[in-house]
Amino acid sequence: MTRETAMIMLIRNPAYTDTVIAEIKKRFAAERSVQLQSLLSAESYESLTKIILTQETKEWRVPDEAWFQRITGKKALLPELIQLLQQITGRKIKTQEWRLFLPHHYTLRKDHDENEKKKDEKQNQQMKKGKIFALLDLASLDESWGGYTSVVGDAGEVIRIIPQANTLSIITIAHDQDHFVKYVNCTAASPRVLWIAELG
């Protein structure tokens, strides 16, 4: 399969009118995290899922850090989604990729020492405001299966995102927080199909 670019045109759920999106933008500005359930029309969601699940994958494994599949076939460009994220957050996409989490897959929290934190803050003043991530899930997972995203700080878990099909989560992770994907156990009846993007 050639690694050509696929421009995927998505249609939003009609319930997400411009007025609703404006309210979501205000809520994000105040709360720094929002979730848009049933974001895409049924037809767009089914089409996108079919395209993504038929792509080639490549294992990404770093011992004691992460293990999952990167979807490496056609590079799916989602212009409407990217435009929507810019509209809500005021930020542009910095990095993006599709990931597939099967049983035994996970990512771990990265520990940073104080010198690294100070260096990061000096290089990027926006660190104080936090990093913004967007997560689009194409499959629903039961919490007991694992595979959810957990945002943690020194005091413990701050946010837990349990994958729900056709749901976009936009979260802000403070400079003293980190995130990881919980180990997917062998009882999982479905993989996690995730588009993750960092906005800068």
Beta-carbon contacts of 141 under 8 Å, excluding residues fewer than 6 positions away, are 147, 148, 162, 163, 184, 188, 190, 192
Q: How many domains does the chain have?
A: 1
| pLDDT tens digits, one per residue of 58-107 | 999 999 999 999 998 766 668 899 999 999 999 999 999 999 999 999 99
C-alpha to C-alpha distance for 50 and 85, rounded to whole angstroms: 23
Chain centre to alpha carbon of residue 24:
18
Supply the CATH number for residue 39's domain: 3.60.130.20
- The three-class DSSP label of residue 43 is helix
What percentage of the chain has pLDDT greater than the value 70? Answer: 86
∠ CA 29-31-37, nearest 5°, is 95
**pTM of model > 0.75:** yes
C-alpha to C-alpha distance for 70 and 97, rounded to whole angstroms: 8
**Residue 33: is its pLDDT beyond 70?**
yes
Domain interval for residue 15: 5-109+116-199
Residue type, 40: L
